Amino acid sequence: MSLEIRVVLVEPIYQGNIGSVARAMKNFGYTTLVLVNPCKLEGEARAMASHARDILEGAWITSSFDDAVKGSNLLIGTTGVSSFKAGEHSRLPLYTSRELKEKLKEYRGTASIIFGRENNGFRNDELKNFDMLITVPTSEIYPIMNLSHAVAVVLYELSELGGGNNPLADGFDLQLLYGHLEELLEKINYPLHKKDKTSLMLRRIFGRSGLTPREVQTLRGIIRKIERKMDAQ
């Protein structure tokens, strides 16, 4: 059984970085590259890709984040520790890519590893979609890594990740579960000022737990029974 790793670059602005990412992917045996609204891919990108031009030329190019991660079972964002602002997203634990490998080795499915913009990372609405967040520990003296270097380190740590027997739940079914949980919060009159943060926290808990299809259906069945019981009162 295998776990497919999809490398997603969100609005990369330097074609040299894109070519270097393709090269790093080939170095470590990964082939699926997705580019969201990239810069033009011309001679510099091809030159930096070197013998990985097949990965560069075969990259999926999309106009939206949602299209880039469609079909993924797990969305994994990347960030630098120093750039991770405190606030609602601090409820999402930061893992190193080595720790991620340990968490993923028993699962099969498609995991998208998503790298943010070179100049300003991710927007808040994108961060809210992630099931997990990973980081590459760096020196406090100069913590910000070049995009292609960060991709290379993460893929090196994940190299020889074969995957296991436990299937990851379908992303669409997870979204149904999260929507169902939000409906339940509404029905129990959960405090409005806490609802969004609690919904986000629940997504984080279930997202990083690696739910299987059967577990998702069981959870949704429990919620439905709770709602029917409430409606009957």
The ranges assigned to domains in the chain are 3-166, 171-232
| Strand 94-96 with 132-135, pairing | parallel
- Say if domain 3-166 classifies as CATH 1.10.10.60: no
Give the length of the chain: 233
d(CA 147, CA 7): 12
Q: What is the 3-state secondary structure (H, E, C) of 20-48?
A: HHHHHHHHCCCCEEEEECCCCCCHHHHHH
Mean pLDDT, consecutive 10-residue stretches, the chain (233 aa), reads 90 97 96 97 95 96 95 90 48 81 90 93 84 87 90 93 85 91 90 88 86 93 89 76
pLDDT at 81: 57
What pTM was estimated for this model as a whole?
0.88
pLDDT at 208: 81
pLDDT at 8: 98
Based on the number of CB atoms within 10 Å of its own CB, is 90 exposed (0-12), middle (13-18) or buried (19 or more)?
Answer: exposed
Q: Quick one: tokens of 81?
A: 């520790």
For the segment(s) 171-232, the CATH number from 1.10.760, 3.40.1130, 1.10.287, 1.10.8 is 1.10.8
pLDDT at 82: 46
